[in-house]
Each structure stands twice: as C-alpha cells, then as structure tokens.
Copies of this chain bind each other. A is one copy, B any other.
Amino acid sequence: MLTSLARRCIRAPRVVPIPQGRSLSASPATAAARAIVYSGNGNPSEVLSVLTFPDLPPPPTNTLNVQFLLSPINPADINVIEGVYPSKPKLNGNLTTSGLGSQQDPVFVGGNEGLARVSALGSGVEGLQEGDWVVMKTPQVGTWRTSANVKPGDVLKVPSADKLTPVQAATLVVNPPTAWNLLHDFVQLSEGDWVIQNGANSAVGQCVIQVAAAKGYKTINLVRNRSDLPILQQRLRELGATEVLTYDELAQDGIRDKIKSWTNGKDIKLGLNCVGGPDTTRMARFLGKDAHLVSYGAMSKAPLSLPTSLFIFKNLTSHGFWQSRWYADHSLEEQQSMLRTLTELMANGKLLAPDHEIASIRGSDSDEVASEHIRSMVEGITSGQYGKKVLLQFESDEA
C-alpha cells in the first residue's frame, strides 16, 4: 500500500532539460504556494504535512524572493525531522514560519539543500539578478517549498549555471564539496596515491570516485554484495573507480596480497568512512603508515572500533568531517572558489549528476492527498526502497 502510494508519487527518472540561459525561469509554473512542514520532531511518515499558503508579498528591503526548482531529500533531512541531527531549524524570527501566516502553530519547513531561482529582488540587494540560480548556504532554511523570502547571505549564486543541469545544481552544495574536502583537507595526495572508501555507491562515494579520478588518485571502493554486483562494479569503474571490492571480499584470506599487488606495495594514505562497524575496522587495517581515516557518516549505526595499535604503531589519525562545519569555518571567497572548481569539473563532464528520481508534488492534489504522498515517499526512502537520490519538485496544478 505504502509502496504503491510511493510509486504514484515518484515519477520515473526523467531528463530535466538543460536550461538555455535562463529559460527555466518561468518553469515550473507554480499556481499555489506550498510547503512540506512539521510542527514537532517525530517519524517523518507521521509528522510531515503539505500546506498551501498565500503567495509571498514583494520582498522587503535587503531580502529577495526565490522560487525552488528542485530540492533533494537527503538522509540528514530525515534525521533533522526526527530530531536526532545536531543542526536544528529555527522556529522563530526566520524563514521557517514566514509565508505561513494563517497557521496558528509555528511550523518547520523540511529540507536543507535546494536549487532556487531568484524571482524578485528587494531594494538594496546587490550581486544578484532576477532569474539567477542560487543554492542555499545557510543550513536548514527549509527548501521543501515552492518559494521563500531569504536574505542575500542565505544563498550562493551558482557559478557557470548555464553549463549545469538542474539536478547538478540542486545537489551542488553538500555531496560534491564533501567529496572534494574529504580528498583534500586531511592529507596531501599526489597523482597515483591510493585512497580506500566504504559506502562507495553512496552519493558522496560516487563523487569521491569522480573527483579522485579527475585528480589522478587511485581508489579502492567497498560496496555491499548484491545480486547485480557486476553491473554496479561496471558503473563505478565507468565513473573512474580503480578497484571495486565487496566487504565480504575484504574479509577473505589473500586479500592483503591482492591489494598489495594493486598498489604495488604503496601505502594507502587515506580511508573514507560513512559506514562504521566491523567492516570499517577491517578497512582501517589496510591503511598504510601515517594514514588518515575520515568519517562522514555512520550508515551501519555501529560505532567506529579501532585497534589502539593502529594509532600508536602505524600513526593512524582518525577524523570526522561535516560539510556544515566547513561552510561555517570558511569565508565566502573560499566557498565560492570551491563551488567554481566543482562546477568546472561538472561542466567538463568529470562530475556527473547523481543517479536520481524526481518526486513530484502535483498541483492538482489536495493538501491532504499530497501529505499522504510525501509521508509514504519518505517512508520508502528511509526503508532504502530507492537507492537513488530523490529530489522534490512542486508541479503546477496544470501538470
């Protein structure tokens, strides 16, 4: 039942047309302003609702109105709604309640990441024009909505927007920068150096493969065993993966010799972890002297258990990485410079859009029906039904 609802809601992946200049500026037309909201933390499949609210007024001075084109549903968004993520949306004095004036109770708007188009500029706003593509820089702005009034500091103008697909732009600020920073912030890699990562098929994992390939780093990519493993291996190799291994293979006798033959005995300098648990312990044992292990996720929900001897005698250093902290710790210039680097890779075909599906909230559906859809869709995502990045799109009621 939930599955069939989810299927109704998730349309088949489709090619979103690459905009010609600002040609997307009038599309999709949005008749009703809507948002996916919740008034308290809980299971997203219970607490989320779709609400229709009045159109935004013209933007006050030093603010702008934006119209969201595509907003990813990231795993962290689910955690925010559940209340188990350190970044919290704010209830008062910011965007999350704005535009929902008729509501008695204050609400949060879901979503952290999203591509929006500047629809109107308040006086005093500089450096942006109507029609510009922007992505959210301030965390937890609430991107699962048709439109919002924001401050210029909340957004970053997408560089080389005309060379990106909407999906590339909508997924620009979290996963690709995470991959870039994981590969550059902890150890100085040179061409031919080796990196090992788990969760290699994740959105970040695929970006790591591509950024590493573009820089000439070699990657050993760990994935779960599955029936269609050869297809996955083939796909990751096409992205630039040097080697692909399952966790089961990593546990087999003789694997150390195999890896040694790949690396020609060279130390693996960097390990990237989004899984945790025993598979990560095993991965860490293949790191070389003075290596760095960087964790940016814990998909297994198991802690990271490492033999102390790796730290003492192999000089392992274990770090964490959180892209939100990176943004907080880096200047606007540094942020723009990184996004430029990434959009250049994208424009050159070296960093592809993630595998994805577009999930539409249909304008013709009532808030009640749309709410049911979004709840079952999120339930499908949390149960791992999709295996692809899902991006939300609000369709006009003519759709």
Interface residues of A (CB under 8 A from B): 86, 273, 276, 281, 295-298, 303-322, 325
Contacts and interface: CB of A to CB of B under 8 A. Distances in A.
Chain A at the B interface: SS class:
mixed
A325 to B, nearest CB: 7
A320 B311 contact: yes
A285 to B, nearest CB: 11
Given A303-B307, A305-B305, A321 B317 contact: no
Contacts of A310: 320
Contacts of A317: 317-320
A312 B303 contact: no
Given A318-B317, A322-B315, A325-B315, A298 B309 contact: yes
A312 B320 contact: yes
28 contacts: A273-B308, A276-B308, A295-B311, A295-B312, A298-B307, A298-B308, A298-B309, A298-B312, A304-B305, A304-B306, A304-B308, A304-B311, A305-B305, A306-B306, A306-B318, A311-B319, A311-B320, A312-B320, A313-B320, A313-B322, A314-B320, A315-B320, A315-B322, A316-B320, A317-B317, A317-B319, A317-B320, A318-B319
Listed from nearest, the 7 A-B pairs whose CB atoms lie closest are A311-B320, A298-B308, A312-B320, A318-B318, A305-B305, A86-B313, A295-B311
Which of A276, A281, A311, A321 lies at the interface centre, i.e. has the most chain B CB atoms within 10 A of its CB? Answer: A311
B325 A308 contact: no
A312 B308 contact: no
A32 B297 CA distance: 63
The complex is assembled from copies of this chain, and their number is 2
A308 B302 CA distance: 8
Nearest to A313: B86
B320 A296 contact: no
Contact of A320 (B298, B303, B305, B308): B308
A214 to B, nearest CB: 25
A309 B321 CA distance: 10
Contacts of A313: 86, 320, 322
Contact of A295 (B305, B308, B322): B308
A64 to B, nearest CB: 31
Contacts of A311: 295, 304, 318-320
A157 to B, nearest CB: 28
A334 B321 CA distance: 33
Contacts of A306: 303-306, 318
Which of A281, A307, A318, A321 lies at the interface centre, i.e. has the most chain B CB atoms within 10 A of its CB? Answer: A318
A318 B313 CA distance: 14
Nearest to A319: B317
